[in-house]
């Protein structure tokens, strides 16, 4: 009996256990899959949340609520007033932030609940909307899956071709606290449909500075040595006639096995960055006659020239905006710490004076399946 | 055992010792009377009286009808006794039968009759000759149902202990195969044989086993499972602590590994001890299949172990607490199908699991043609209809089905049932504390497995205590020629079992 007693006792105790109190069954969860943050004309915060509805009887499978709120957390209660289930941020796919919000300093702290409450995810994609965020959230495209999934897919897929950056809240937080790099986020626009237009570059204080398109985003990724996915370019050969209706001078290629080597120096009171880009190129399109086997190097030189021109233009742009989306500051801190330390808090300024030289070397390794 | 009152068990001796040792009478008539008195209301008791050749001494042959082999009784005992042979011994013609012993006390006489021997009483003699004419209805040797194998032998143990011993002897014709006999059960008097290889098996373990067996004091042991329950180390553990098999080939290979085989008369399965947890995931077929394939199947079994144990619990934990870990696409489809279900996840899972268990149990009891019906009815009801009716979600059906399949992959039925049982507490823990609950459950289980012993040998070996040598035959099975050592978890005295090299012939 003495051995049975503890067994019985523990069984009784177990049967009275209540378990964890934060239990929410899956269908009682209202996932804030999309969160939108806007400012209205009077600079009031407008928060919008889109969440899926699991009921079979509901005709529309998405519920959206737009509310004026003081903070994001407070808006959750606003939302719960009308939503079917309890709102949580555990699976947020994207945080859409209006351009007007991003133009003001200190917007990042709005996302604080995502970072502090461990139940919320830090893997939400951060997107800047060129326009008003809740206009996108309320969209229900008929020919696409659920908007939240569609948006997430759109951003990820375009990122595979390096047309935009894909940045999660966690990345954004690092970029924000890191002095040597300025953040860049995906940029969206609503133009009847939803378009991923490229990347929005932010300054050191997190304010929106300028936008770049898919082509420049590829250059950004190469300079960042972030060389995953496909890099596809279409160039025009300056030495060829333009063609009347159809282009005669265009050629396309995709670059693979890219190697990026950044050398950091300091000369004449300014930083110098020598970036050597080596890439192997596979031609995918060519509109003019050329014997690649014999005259391939001519095209290679032409490519290199064009690349260097584009890099120069891109770097000029970011230097003018006094931002550093490439993260050259990290190189400077690593290799030229003595010179970096005094300027670390105004690195954008220091970079704008720096010499950034990009040297490109291309080798055509594949001309495709026709001659 | 704790519940039995020890005092009364000690005093309650069935017979008086003096009564047992009563000598045999001289007169035949008196002896026949005595036998008749000892076996009242026994219509199967046959007493055949006749005059023996060549001197015509009156004699009587006494045997139990159904327990004797009539053929040898008639032609090898009665014929020589009645019509005489060349050989004459003690005034009677010698019967042509090998098994023959002399009994002098009544208790021996009674026992011999009960065991199926035929007894010859002779007038004027105070001793009885017992002839071994045991023979009773027997089942043929068949493939064991519970442990069918693809490549191993297709002979299974039968209900006669001596036959089982001979089946093992066929595999190990070696002088070191020792058999020690014990009788268990006051009424049942079951013969129990411990088989071991003298130069491999550890004597301490043998002593432990013998002591435990000798301490079993019961009415009768009907089945091996009963005996196992009396001698196992931890009666409160959900895990089987002895391997029970009906396969002579696996018993023989366990003997060679230094384990002990306990054969229980009248039961077709034998106990193999000491057992380790991982040995329940090994099967005889493992050694006759190519080692790469076997390794894959072994790993499959370990995966199945976790699926059978944890999948329903994981489902409950994921959908009641930790939904963040589900990929969003799956989340939406799970939630959509869950939204129709009015029950909390634990109830949903319990309902389905209990349903499956009932179907399994019902299938055992039903004859094969009806058993199919259960499959169809169960498949349709538990499957699609339950989902359409909104009683369970469709993910739950997948979970339950995978769990059921996974739990049938174990070569050992006992381990399969143990795992099936354990997933219920796991589900409960998951519904109380989510993933943390599962972790707590697993920790408890691991703690228990580490502490558990089988015949005083660690049950968790070769994982805890870690025995690296045995790892060759745990999660994977390396080629046989690499396993030149016997498994160390059985503590064999002779450690090396074969040459270290693979015979390569002339290719070098």
ipTM of this complex: 0.83
Query: Residue A130 has what DSSP assignment?
Result: S
Shared domain for B43 and B92, answered yes or no, is: yes
Are the CB atoms for B428 and B346 separated by under 8 Å?
A: yes
Residue with tokens 């939400």: A124
Residues with Cβ within 8 Å of residue B16, at least 6 apart in sequence: none
Chain A contact for B411 (CB, 8 A cutoff): no
CATH class of A225-371: alpha beta
Torsion on CA atoms A130, A132, A137, A140, rounded to nearest 10: -80
The 8 Å CB, 24+ separation contacts for B6-12 are B9/B217
φ, ψ at A280 (rounded to 5°):
-105, 140
Task: Mark whether B258 and B306 lie in a shared domain.
Answer: no
B333-360 confidence digits (pLDDT tens)? 898 888 888 899 999 999 989 988 888 8
Whether B235 and B269 share a structural domain: yes
B306 with B448, same domain: the answer is yes
Where in chain A are the domains? Answer: 24-212, 225-371
* B383: CB partners within 8 A, 6+ apart: B397, B401
User: So what's the pLDDT on residue B355?
Assistant: 87
Grouping H, G, I as helix, E, B as strand and the rest as coil, residue B237 is coil
Which residues are CB-contacts of B53 (< 8 A; sequence separation ≥ 6)? B80, B81, B82, B83, B84, B92, B93
**Nearest to B328, CA basis, from A23, A153, A59:** A153
Determine the pLDDT at residue B501.
82
- Given a contact cutoff of 8 angstroms between Cβ atoms, the answer to whether B140 and B156 are in contact is no
Tens digit of each residue's pLDDT (9 = 90 or more) over B48-101: 998 887 888 899 999 998 888 888 888 888 888 888 877 787 778 888 888 888
Cα–Cα distance between A150 and A143 in angstroms, integer?
A: 10
Query: Do B88 and B215 sit in the same domain of this protein?
Result: no
Angle at A174 between CA A137 and CA B321, to 5 degrees: 60
Q: Are residues B339 and B436 in the same domain?
A: yes
CA distance B398 to chain A (A): 17
How far apart, in whole angstroms, are the C-alpha atoms of residue A101 and residue A98? 5
Q: What is the pLDDT of residues B415-465, one digit of tens each?
A: 999 999 999 999 999 998 899 999 999 999 999 999 999 998 999 989 988
- The CA distance from A280 to A268, in Å, is 35
* Residues in chain A, pLDDT under 70: 1
- Shared-domain flag, residues B242 and B207: yes
Answer yes or no: do B369 and B270 share one domain: no
Query: Which range marks the domain in which residue B175 is found?
Result: 161-275
Give the whole-angstrom CA distance, residue B462 versus residue B468.
7
First-to-last alpha carbon distance for chain A, in angstroms, is 91
> Half-sphere exposure of A264 toward its Cβ, with a 13 Å CA cutoff?
15
- Cα distance between residue B32 and residue B29, in whole Å: 5
Angle (CA) B271-B276-B277 rounded to 5° is 110
Task: Flag whether B422 is in a domain.
Answer: yes
Same domain as B342, residue B395: yes
Position B508 confidence tier, pLDDT thresholds 50, 70, 90 = low
Q: Tell me the average pLDDT of chain B.
A: 88
pLDDT at B8: 45
Name the residue in chain B with its Cα closest to that of A22. Answer: B321
Q: Does B303 touch chain A if contact means CB atoms closer than 8 Å?
A: no
Tokens of A249: 């001078």
Residues B261 and B335 in one domain: no
Helices B394-407 and B328-338, packing angle to 10 deg = 100
Q: Do A20 and B433 touch (CB under 8 A)?
A: yes
Q: Where do we find the tokens 């079917």?
A: A84
Peptide bond into A112 cis (omega under 30): no
Out of A19, A25, A33, the one facing B345 most closely (by C-beta) is A25
Chain B residues with CB-CB distance to A19 below 8 A: 431-433, 437
Same domain, B399 and B435: yes
What is the domain count for chain B?
A: 3
Q: For residue B20, is it within any domain?
A: no
Pairing outcome for strands B243-245 and B58-64: unpaired
> By the CB < 8 Å criterion, does A33 face chain B?
yes
Note whether B314 and B454 are same-domain residues: yes
pLDDT of B386-397, one tens digit each? 888 888 898 999
The H helix count followed by the E strand count for chain A is 12, 14
Contact of B310 with B286, CB cutoff 8 Å: no
Per-residue confidence band for B7, with pLDDT thresholds at 50, 70 and 90? very low
**Percent share of chain B, pLDDT over 90:** 49
Compare CB distances from B432 to A7, A20, A90 and report the shortest one's residue: A20
Q: How do residues B109-142 score in pLDDT, each as one tens digit? A: 988 998 889 999 988 888 899 999 888 888 888 8
Residue B82 within any structural domain of the chain:
yes
Q: In DSSP terms, which residues pair with A274 in a beta bridge?
A: A263, A357
């Amino acid at each position: 009996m003495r051995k049975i007693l503890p067994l019985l006792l523990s069984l009784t105790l177990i049967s009275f256990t209540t378990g964890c109190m934060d239990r929410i069954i899956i269908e009682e969860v209202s996932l804030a899959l999309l969160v939108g943050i806007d400012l209205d004309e009077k600079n009031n915060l407008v928060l919008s949340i889109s969440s899926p509805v699991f009921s079979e009887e509901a005709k529309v499978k998405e519920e959206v609520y737009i509310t004026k709120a003081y903070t994001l957390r407070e808006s959750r209660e606003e939302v719960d007033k009308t939503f079917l289930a309890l709102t949580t941020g555990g699976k947020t796919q994207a945080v859409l932030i209006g351009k007007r919000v991003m133009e003001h300093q200190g917007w990042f702290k709005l996302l604080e609940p995502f970072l502090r409450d461990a139940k919320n995810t830090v893997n939400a994609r951060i997107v800047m909307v060129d326009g008003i965020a809740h206009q996108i959230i309320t969209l229900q495209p008929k020919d696409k899956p659920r908007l939240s999934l569609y948006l997430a897919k759109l951003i990820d897929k375009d990122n595979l071709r390096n047309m935009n950056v894909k940045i999660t809240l966690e990345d954004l937080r690092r970029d924000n606290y890191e002095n040597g790099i300025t953040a860049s986020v995906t940029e969206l626009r609503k133009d009847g449909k939803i378009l991923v237009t490229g990347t929005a570059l932010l300054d050191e204080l997190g304010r929106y500075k300028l936008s770049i398109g898919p082509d420049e985003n590829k250059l950004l990724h190469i300079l960042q040595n972030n060389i995953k996915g496909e890099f596809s370019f279409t160039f025009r050969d300056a030495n060829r006639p333009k063609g009347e209706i159809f282009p005669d001078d265009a050629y396309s290629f995709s670059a693979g096995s890219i190697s990026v080597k950044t050398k950091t120096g300091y000369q004449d009171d300014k930083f110098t960055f020598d970036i050597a880009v080596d890439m192997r190129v596979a031609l995918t399109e060519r509109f003019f006659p050329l014997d690649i086997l014999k005259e391939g190097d001519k095209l290679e030189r032409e490519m290199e020239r064009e690349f260097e021109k584009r890099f120069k233009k891109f770097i000029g742009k970011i230097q003018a905006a006094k931002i550093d989306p490439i993260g050259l500051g990290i190189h400077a801190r690593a290799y030229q710490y003595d010179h970096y330390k005094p300027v670390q808090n105004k690195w954008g300024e220091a970079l704008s004076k720096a010499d950034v030289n990009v040297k490109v070397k291309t080798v055509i390794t594949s001309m495709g399946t026709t001659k | 055992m704790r519940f039995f009152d020890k005092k009364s068990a000690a005093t309650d001796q069935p017979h008086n010792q003096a009564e047992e040792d009563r000598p045999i009478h001289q007169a035949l008539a008196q002896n026949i009377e005595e036998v008749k008195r000892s076996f009242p209301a026994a219509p199967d008791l046959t007493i055949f009286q006749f005059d023996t050749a060549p001197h015509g001494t009156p004699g009587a042959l006494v045997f139990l009808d159904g327990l004797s082999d009539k053929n040898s009784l008639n032609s090898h005992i009665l014929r020589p006794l009645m019509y005489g042979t060349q050989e004459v011994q003690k005034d009677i013609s010698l019967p042509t039968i090998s098994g023959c012993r002399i009994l002098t006390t009544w208790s021996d006489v009674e026992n011999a009759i009960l065991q199926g021997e035929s007894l010859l009483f002779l007038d004027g003699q105070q001793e009885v000759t017992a002839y071994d004419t045991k023979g009773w209805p027997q089942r043929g040797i068949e493939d064991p149902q519970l442990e069918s194998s693809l490549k191993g032998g297709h002979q299974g143990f039968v209900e006669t202990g001596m036959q089982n011993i001979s089946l093992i002897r066929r595999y190990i014709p070696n002088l070191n195969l020792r058999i020690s006999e014990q009788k268990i059960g006051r009424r049942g008097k079951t013969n129990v044989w411990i088989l071991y290889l003298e130069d491999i098996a550890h004597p301490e373990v043998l002593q432990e086993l013998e002591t435990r067996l000798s301490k079993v004091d019961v009415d009768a042991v009907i089945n091996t499972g009963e005996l196992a329950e009396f001698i196992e180390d931890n009666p409160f553990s959900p895990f089987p602590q002895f391997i029970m098999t009906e396969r002579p080939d696996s018993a023989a290979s366990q003997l060679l590994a230094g384990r002990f085989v306990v054969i229980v008369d009248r039961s077709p399965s034998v106990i193999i001890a000491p057992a380790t947890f991982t040995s329940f995931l090994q099967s005889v077929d493992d050694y006759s299949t190519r080692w790469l394939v076997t390794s894959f199947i072994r790993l499959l079994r370990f995966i199945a172990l976790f699926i059978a144990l944890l999948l329903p619990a994981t489902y409950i934990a994921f959908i009641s607490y930790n939904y963040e870990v589900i990929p969003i696409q799956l989340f939406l489809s799970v939630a959509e199908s869950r939204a129709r279900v009015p029950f909390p996840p634990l109830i949903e899972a319990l309902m389905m699991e209990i349903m499956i268990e009932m179907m399994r149990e019902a299938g055992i009891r039903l004859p094969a043609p009806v058993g199919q019906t259960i499959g169809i009815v169960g498949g349709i009801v538990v499957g699609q209809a339950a989902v359409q009716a909104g009683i369970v979600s469709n993910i739950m059906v997948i979970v339950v089905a995978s769990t059921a399949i996974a739990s049938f992959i174990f070569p050992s039925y006992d381990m399969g049932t143990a795992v099936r049982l354990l997933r219920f507490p796991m589900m409960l823990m998951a519904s109380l504390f989510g993933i943390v609950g599962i972790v707590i459950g697993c920790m408890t289980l691991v703690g228990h497995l580490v502490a558990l012993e089988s015949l005083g040998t660690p049950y968790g070996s070769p994982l805890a205590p870690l025995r690296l040598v045995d790892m060759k035959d745990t999660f994977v099975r390396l080629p046989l020629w690499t396993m030149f050592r016997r498994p160390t978890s059985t503590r064999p005295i002779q450690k090396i079992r074969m040459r270290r090299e693979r015979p390569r012939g002339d290719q070098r």
